[in-house]
Amino acid sequence: MIETKGYATNSPAAQFEPYNFERRELGPSDILIDILYCGICHSDIHQAKNEWKDTMPTTYPLVPGHEIVGRVSQVGDAVTKFHVGDIAGIGCFVDSCRVCPSCTAGLQQFCVKQAAFTYNGTEMDRVTRTYGGYSKKYVIDEGYALKVRSDQDLAGVAPLLCAGITTFSPLRRFNVGPGQKVGIVGLGGLGHMGVKLAAAMGAEVTVFSTSPGKEADALALGAQHFVVTRDPANLAPLEGTFNFILDTVSADHDLSVYLRMLGLRGVMVVVGVPETPAAIHSTSLIFGNKSLAGSLIGGIPETQEMLDFCAEHGLTADVEVITPDRIEEAYDRTVKGDVHYRFVIDTATI
Ligand code: NAP
Ligand code: ZN
Ligand code: ZN
């Protein structure tokens, strides 16, 4: 086994502490990644605090982290995609059954046997627990690792592995592009990537935010308009004017407010996962033939397409790089919306 070190939490209220554990020895198609950076996704916080106890309960000790970028330091005998020294990424899952219709379609996140999630899950043997990227090393089958161009700001690339693909995938699925009015709700980790990506795809972007102080950032990220949602008077004139809205909010809120912003046949996609189920009246959808959809990360081919798109367009996340002793502070600030716009752990300091 390969010894490694990470940061784990032992209960919803506990602090993160150093934690020693093991990764498997490399099989023929495995690579060993020395992790350089790992982003802090709000999903890490939901799970560290066991906020998804009804759908995805947390098993402790928990080493979160699924926005991972690192350097390949060892490769198995049959590996062809990576060489020692390459930069590689790991997103939200590290394996799947490989043969079901979802897997063969490149939508491994919907594997009928359930993908092996990067942390708070198990490998496909359904016994070996997975630990995430708040750690120094990861062993992964090369087919589930992503290729990352080394000439980029690698701390800023790490969040693309979740925040990037989670926003890219629905924008692509609904053909967002020039001539379309797109709303991004919530300017956090996902939201700020949604703004950058939708703008790069040519859409006219409006940010809906609860934080008036984020206006200048929203415009600098590529939005044309910024709306403070706390005052309903700001929203009324915008009703019926959007083609597409992406809702990235992590906390409980009223979806009907944004469904009203959609025009005829408008589409709203939710990617945020608040603790409590949302309630909407069916008339919010019926009038205007509107659609409400969900989206879960993306499969391996689309994640690679997103990384390549970002590299071509010079897009990375705006990050605040921290040492692991500041994880709690980063969690507190993220929950308060005080994140600009992703905390990333410098794992070399673990
Ligand atoms: P984040 O960085 O914390 O951003 C969330 C943003 O939502 C905040 O910055 C804030 O933006 C807004 N917000 C927070 N509390 C709010 C409230 N009470 N009312 C209205 N707006 C509020 O979180 P994230 O990492 O982007 O993740 C967002 C959500 O997506 C989380 O629930 C996460 O679990 C989920 N997620 C889903 C997927 C998927 O595949 N579907 C993947 C990754 C993450 P403003 O200050 O601008 O209002
Ligand atoms: Zn995530
Ligand atoms: Zn499968």
Regions of the chain where pLDDT drops below 70: none
Could you give the CA distance from residue 134 to residue 47 in angstroms, rounded to a whole number?
Answer: 14
- Amino acid residing at 165: I
Q: Is the CB of 347 under 6 A from ligand 1?
A: no
The strand order across the sheet containing 242-247 reads 225-228, 204-209, 181-185, 242-247, 262-270, 291-294
Q: Is the CB of 192 under 6 A from ligand 1?
A: no
Measure 90 CA to ligand 2 centroid, in angstroms: 11
Q: Is the CB of 206 under 6 A from ligand 1?
A: no
Q: Is the CB of 189 under 6 A from ligand 1?
A: yes
Q: DSSP letter string over 211-234? A: -GGGHHHHHHHT-SEEEETTSHHH
Q: Is the CB of 69 under 6 A from ligand 1?
A: no
* Distances from the Cα of 222 to the Cα of 126, 213, 324, angstroms: 43, 16, 31
Q: Is the CB of 29 under 6 A from ligand 1?
A: no
61: Cα within 13 Å, side-chain hemisphere: 15
Residue for token digits 């005052």? 231
At CB < 8 A and 24+ separation, what contacts does 290-294 make?
A: 290/259, 290/262, 290/265, 290/266, 291/265, 291/266, 291/267, 292/255, 292/259, 292/267, 292/268, 293/170, 293/267, 293/268, 293/269, 294/269, 294/270
Summarised one tens digit per residue, pLDDT across range 255-297 is 999 999 999 999 999 999 998 899 999 999 999 999 999 999 9
Measure 159 CA to ligand 1 centroid, in angstroms: 14
| Bridge partner residues of 75 (DSSP) | 31
Q: Is the CB of 251 under 6 A from ligand 1?
A: yes
H helix or E strand, kind and range, residue 19 = strand 17-23
Bridging pattern class, strands 204-209 and 181-185: parallel
As a dihedral over the C-alpha atoms of residue 56, residue 120, residue 35, residue 5, rounded to 10 degrees, the angle is 150
Could you give the CA distance from residue 345 to residue 83 in angstroms, rounded to a whole number?
Answer: 25
Measure 72 CA to ligand 2 centroid, in angstroms: 22
Measure 8 CA to ligand 1 centroid, in angstroms: 23
Nearest CA to ligand 1 atom 17: 251
- The pLDDT value recorded for residue 275 is 85
Q: In terms of C-beta density within 10 A (0-12 exposed, 13-18 middle, 19 or more buried), how is residue 85 classed?
A: exposed
- Atom index in ligand 1 nearest the CA of residue 271 equals 41
Does the reported pTM lie above 0.75? yes
Q: Is the CB of 250 under 6 A from ligand 1?
A: yes
Measure 286 CA to ligand 2 centroid, in angstroms: 32
- The pLDDT value recorded for residue 71 is 98
- The pLDDT value recorded for residue 145 is 99
Q: Is the CB of 109 under 6 A from ligand 1?
A: no
Q: Is the CB of 49 under 6 A from ligand 1?
A: no
Measure 143 CA to ligand 3 centroid, in angstroms: 13
- The pLDDT value recorded for residue 227 is 98
Sign of CA dihedral 32, 36, 40, 41: negative
What the block records as the tokens of 209 is 């935010």
Q: Which ligand is closest in space to the CA of residue 212?
A: 1
- DSSP character at residue 62: B
Nearest CA to ligand 1 atom 25: 42
Tell me if 94 sits within 8 A of 116, measured CB to CB.
Answer: yes
